[in-house]
Amino acid sequence: METLSENTAFGGVQGVYKHRSAACACDMTFGLFLPEEAQDGPVPLLWYLSGLTCTHENAMTKAAAQGWAAEQGIALVFPDTSPRGEGVADDAAYDLGQGAGFYVNATQAPWAPHFRMWDYVAEELPALLTETFAIDPTRQSITGHSMGGHGALTLAMNLPGRYRSVSAFAPIANPTGSDWGRKQLAAYLGDDESTWAAHDASLLMRDKGFNGPVLIDQGASDQFLDLLKPEALAAAIASRRQPATFRMQKGYDHSYFFVSSFMEDHVTFHASALWA
Amino acid sequence: METLSENTAFGGVQGVYKHRSAACACDMTFGLFLPEEAQDGPVPLLWYLSGLTCTHENAMTKAAAQGWAAEQGIALVFPDTSPRGEGVADDAAYDLGQGAGFYVNATQAPWAPHFRMWDYVAEELPALLTETFAIDPTRQSITGHSMGGHGALTLAMNLPGRYRSVSAFAPIANPTGSDWGRKQLAAYLGDDESTWAAHDASLLMRDKGFNGPVLIDQGASDQFLDLLKPEALAAAIASRRQPATFRMQKGYDHSYFFVSSFMEDHVTFHASALWA
């Protein structure tokens, strides 16, 4: 593992690291914020999964999360959103290929050799983090924005016991019913739609739910509401009677101004589960 | 004036606006955060001046200032750091020309026709803001980072009564004695060094001081310490017995991770002067 940068931030360290990923068969870069408390022993970890076109860097510089994490004594990890580099398949569209991994293990050509973001986020990166840094693997929670909200919700519901709490900012909530989903799931997983269901937060919420607290924030003026389909997730939460808070936030759009506005609430929400 | 974007943020609005500047004889873009309270009447204004290579956007997206400003009910303005565009002089170096206005009125060719950032920040933009938005011109304070810290300190000491408080993050503190300063002051103002003194925070502090509270944060691991020369400003503060807080912050570098780490302190510091 190579250290690309380390900056003191809020009494802790915001690092950027590069490592060879076996899951993605390429070099992968991630950001990790460790609070001051990590100098004395393992701390809880909050995952932040980013959206379409993002790298590890966007939320790390624009989500204003580190200050709240420092206040709560928890670490933050910012993975990249896809494999990258020469020899990694790509597409001219912003919403397929590099920058758009959708947190699945691709089974179809040309994506299958590298696009295994599910394994990367669910298995490889957590193992690396707990081996390398002062992270307590029994205290993990997960959040994300847009495509990353989709990732957070689908990981949390498919891996019961892994995360103590889950939240999302404007998640892609029903990808099997949206142009943000059908195109990508078909490309990565093939035309058999039965393989898609494990990657749809609304279907998972209806069938499995989550054994822990759930917080969803959605901007009411989000320019992508028709693609995100929050109403499908809200209906699934209601029909399952899943303990959850779903907030439609007046005036907010899809930007990091929305994400940062509610970051304090999300970090505080996760901290109370992580420290329980 | 043209609205380039408006995003709801922390209950207020983060806008980006473009206007024709008479001072700079070109179009200029600025960011303005208005807290929710601005819907009901004029609010105080905190200026944030940015550093070398920055536009209006850097601090607006990375300094994590809006949340604290919202909490205090104050507006934030993020001006650009120089004139820009076709027909505006530039230099291949990152530290001269576009992105490096140094908050002076250039008198020398080829800079004089457009590089009038002093007039822009001291006169034209405040007039535009108070005409157009719910801003209380009697309640203004100023801060900035690096070259912007230089701008904040020199404006504050040269315009007594204008700003109620001044702060800076890692300011260029003694440009007449630094390669971050001598080159630019010579280019913009000419070789007569007597014209430079009004643009050196350490000289101004020694000769004039500031009638109000002063807060300076400087990272002790800043990679540019030899160019910033904080020791000159600290000595001037001490010799004048200027009421001020000067903090050398262990471990912090020159990045926005440093700025954002102490933004709460700076906004709170200014708010107590603005609301006094």
Global ipTM: 0.92
Of the listed A21, A50, A82, A146, which one is catalytic?
A: A146
Q: State both tokens at A244.
A: 């959850």
| pLDDT 10s digits, B174-227 | 999 999 999 999 999 999 999 999 999 999 999 999 999 999 999 999 999 999
Residue A3, Cβ density class (10 Å: 0-12 exposed, 13-18 middle, ≥19 buried): exposed
Q: State both tokens at A13.
A: 């360290």
* Cross-chain residue pair B8–A66, CB shorter than 8 Å: no
Residue A86, Cβ density class (10 Å: 0-12 exposed, 13-18 middle, ≥19 buried): exposed
Give which of A251, A47, A212, A16 is closest to B11, Cα–Cα.
A251
Q: Is B132 helix (H, G, I), strand (E, B) or coil?
A: helix
Q: What is the pLDDT of residue A77?
A: 98
Q: State both tokens at A145.
A: 């924005």
The answer to whether B69 and B77 have CB atoms below 8 angstroms apart is: no
A9 at B interface, C-beta within 8 A: yes
Binned at pLDDT 50, 70 and 90, residue B270 comes out as: very high
| pLDDT 10s digits, A36-53 | 999 999 999 999 999 999
E strand or H helix that includes residue A255: none
Give which of A189, A188, A128 is closest to A2, Cα–Cα.
A128
The answer to whether B30 and B78 have CB atoms below 8 angstroms apart is: yes
In tens digits, what is the pLDDT along chain A, a chain of 276 residues?
A: 999 999 999 999 999 999 999 999 999 999 999 999 999 999 999 999 999 999 999 999 999 999 999 999 999 999 999 999 999 999 999 999 999 999 999 999 999 999 999 999 999 999 999 999 999 999 999 999 999 999 999 999 999 999 999 999 999 999 999 999 999 999 999 999 999 999 999 999 999 999 999 999 999 999 999 999 999 999 999 999 999 999 999 999 999 999 999 999 999 999 999 999
* Cross-chain residue pair B261–A14, CB shorter than 8 Å: no
The answer to whether A97 and A179 have CB atoms below 8 angstroms apart is: no
For the sheet with B2-9, list strands across it.
Answer: B2-9, B12-21, B26-34, B75-79, B43-49, B135-144, B166-169, B214-219, B245-249
* Cross-chain residue pair B67–A260, CB shorter than 8 Å: yes
DSSP state of B133: S
Q: What is the pLDDT of residue B54?
A: 98
Mutate to test the interface with B, among A261, A262, A263 (most CBs of B within 10 A): A261
Q: What are the φ and ψ backbone dihedral angles of A144, each rounded to 5 degrees?
A: 180, 170
CA distance B166 to chain A (A): 22
- List chain B residues with CB under 8 Å of A252: 8
* Cross-chain residue pair B261–A62, CB shorter than 8 Å: no
B260 at A interface, C-beta within 8 A: yes
B222 part of the active site: yes
Rounded CA-CA distance B78/B51 in Å is 11
B66 at A interface, C-beta within 8 A: yes
Rounded CA-CA distance A64/A9 in Å is 11
Which segments of B63-181 does DSSP mark as H helices, in order?
66-72, 117-119, 125-132, 147-158
Q: Cis omega before residue B42 (within 30°)?
A: no
The answer to whether A114 and A89 have CB atoms below 8 angstroms apart is: yes
DSSP state of B37: G
Q: Residues B242-248: what's their mean pLDDT?
A: 97
What is the pTM (predicted TM-score) of this model? Answer: 0.95
Q: CA of A256: which chain B residue's CA is closest?
A: B61
A254 part of the active site: yes
- For A:100-139, CB contacts with B below 8 A are none
Strands B245-249 and A166-169 turn out to be unpaired
Taking phi over 0 as left and psi of -120 to 50 as alpha, with beta for the rest, A104 belongs to beta
Give which of B270, B251, B274 is closest to B261, Cα–Cα.
B251
Strands A135-144 and B26-34 turn out to be unpaired
Q: What is the pLDDT of residue B82?
A: 98
A7 at B interface, C-beta within 8 A: yes
